A and B are shown apart, each in its own frame.
Chain A
């Protein structure tokens, strides 16, 4: 922590220094804007865009990266200090809600009024994730990550099955696969968030996105509604049918446990974010290319949710701090997020941007058919539900994960789960 924090401080100071000298060179009071991003492989594109921006702008952009999963923690510690960035990477929804509440962020509506493209050039279901209390606080960057039902084509074919269209099909598949001695569904329960994905889709298909929005808005009665109980009952039925085997809580996605189950044909399905493809591609390229199937989550007969709804990580966003001295330069920088250059660069590293001009460039991606499928899925989705653990404020993440895991393990019954969710902090 300390080392990383001081590295950050050094980085920011160094940034200021170079910014100052370039301002002097251009000879007229121009400053710098600091862009803070999550430090990982995606930074190559962000560096490229900053270079492009700096070629024409008087105000220079400086890219600061924070390595590792502690991004949110470190952001939280600098955001109220004088070292706060002008623009920063986030996950939209609950991840920026505390900052909005504290009055730290700049609503982007004025910028959008001047340049409607900042809104119109993005898919609405994605753009809306960073809308809080009717105001826009983020512009999409990087790629979208919808959750899909992946399958092992060969395992399914061997059992004479096809991807399930309805929940009843899924239950029938589970029974057929169990009879063949295959674990029907791979689940990395040790990570907890893969388990949560099952709840997100079951609730959406049964009740539509409204129930969760109501609960997130502070109306705890939503969790006790008949639809909520129906969704829980369906999940219980699936668990009791042995769909996930018995040792899923000892399996993790993050260390390759559950993806290996799918790739080796020990399991037939895995519900996972679209990054499953790149995971399989690095672990088992041949399987990713020839054996990995994908389909939308099954529909529920009589359910209120639209079968085209998706859940997952809608995208990452750039948000702007109120304290920025150069809002016009920031607006110019954000413009790049719907440029052709941005789309091509993101597709080049396997991300799927959510701009309206993305389809023109899909043929240049790693697997054009897969990218096209995902893009259409997100484009057609009437609702794109942000993962619950990111839609709620950070203080709710642990209780959500615990409740989800305990329900799957049978330690919480329906009433217990409802009670746990009703106790979540919503602000």
Chain B
């Protein structure tokens, strides 16, 4: 997340207000002014207080044993060596990766198509879109409780459609429970990404479509040759959000599966909670948390770097 919010800041420097320009000449010279460090101070202080300081504390805690009573006792590398040999930790990382990938693969095409469709201006679209965004208004907890009840094998949807669901043991098998988590995640978050794509699609200049239409391009060609390339940055934004959201998914797992059956849906974020607040092993939980921070940061940076997002190439260039 930080990489996204940090990246646009130093981008094409807007012409500074005359007063500021008069007071503060940029060292870069040639009349270009840069925002002073003082302007960033409040944000930096906030970031330090609520992100850096807790992160450092978590790092320190990961070298201690602490069950919440009294003061943490130094434990050296014990938590880290235990984590290294912990099959559940490895499994949880794979599960997090799997759920995140599933989220991106399922939600991206659906929200992209829906978003482009919803970017139109007809009245019925606006009404349909409004209804469609309802899941976004519900908390993840409410959504999970709702689906938990709907998926009851004896009284819910599976009981009505046993030709499709068999005995309805969706949450009792690994494939079933991961499928349910991916589905509920998509049900809840696709509207958000649809909204992002809708905004992106509305920003595509109409002249491009008019020109393409004159050249005889149909709707499909227009989509692949204009809409999709123009939405490149939107796609990256949406995917980074999905990756970060996927890696930190927690509430749906807590309510729908509790990491079960066995450890089959114990994703890293849930594992961290389990270690900390069910087993009262805050040292071990801190180690899990740090692993998660590192993995999420590396993946976010990789997505931004590989996609060229960091170069901030404009999609409207050439106009």
Question: Which listed residue, A189, A261, A394, touches B172 by the CB 8 Å rule?
Answer: A189
Contact with B along A58-78 (1 / 0, CB 8 A): 000000000000100100110
Q: Is the CB of B260 within 8 A of A192?
A: yes
Band of interface residues on B = 20 to 34
Interchain nearest-CB distance for A132 vs B (Å): 15
Residue total for A at the interface (Cβ-Cβ under 8 A): 36
Chain B residues with CB below 8 A from A396, complex form:
279
A202 to B118, CA, bound (A): 60
For B263, give the chain A residue with the smallest CB separation: A402
Contact with A along B164-207 (1 / 0, CB 8 A): 00011111110010000000000000000000000000000000
Q: Is the CB of A397 within 8 A of B279?
A: yes
Q: Which of A70, A260, A395, A402 has the most CB of B within 10 A?
A: A402
Contact with A along B132-171 (1 / 0, CB 8 A): 0000000000000100110111110000000000011111
Question: Which listed residue, A80, A250, A409, A411, touches B168 by the CB 8 Å rule?
Answer: A250
Q: Is the CB of B261 within 8 A of A394?
A: no
Chain A residues with CB below 8 A from B69, complex form:
76, 79-80, 98-99, 102, 104
Q: Does A363 contact B (CB under 8 A)?
A: no
Q: Is the CB of B279 within 8 A of A77?
A: no
Contact with B along A220-259 (1 / 0, CB 8 A): 0000000000000000000000000111111110010100
Q: Which of B68, B149, B279 has the most CB of A within 10 A?
A: B68
Q: Does B297 contact A (CB under 8 A)?
A: no
Contact with A along B281-298 (1 / 0, CB 8 A): 100000000000000000
Tell me the number of A-to-B contacts counted with CB atoms below 8 Å: 93
A397 to B278, CA, bound (A): 7
Contact with A along B249-263 (1 / 0, CB 8 A): 000000001101111
A70 to B276, CA, bound (A): 12
Interchain nearest-CB distance for B87 vs A (Å): 12
For A407, give the chain B residue with the smallest CB separation: B262
Q: Is the CB of B262 within 8 A of A251?
A: no
Q: Is the CB of B167 within 8 A of A245?
A: yes
A80 to B263, CA, bound (A): 33
Q: Does B70 contact A (CB under 8 A)?
A: yes
Q: Which of B151, B154, B155 has the most CB of A within 10 A?
A: B154
Q: Does B129 contact A (CB under 8 A)?
A: no
Chain A residues with CB below 8 A from B170, complex form:
250
Within 8 A of A (CB), among B82-104: none
Chain A residues with CB below 8 A from B277, complex form:
70, 73
Chain A residues with CB below 8 A from B237, complex form:
none
A residues whose Cβ falls under 8 Å from a Cβ of B:
70, 73, 76-77, 79-80, 98-99, 102, 104, 189-190, 192, 245-252, 255, 257, 260-261, 266, 394-398, 402, 405-406, 409, 411
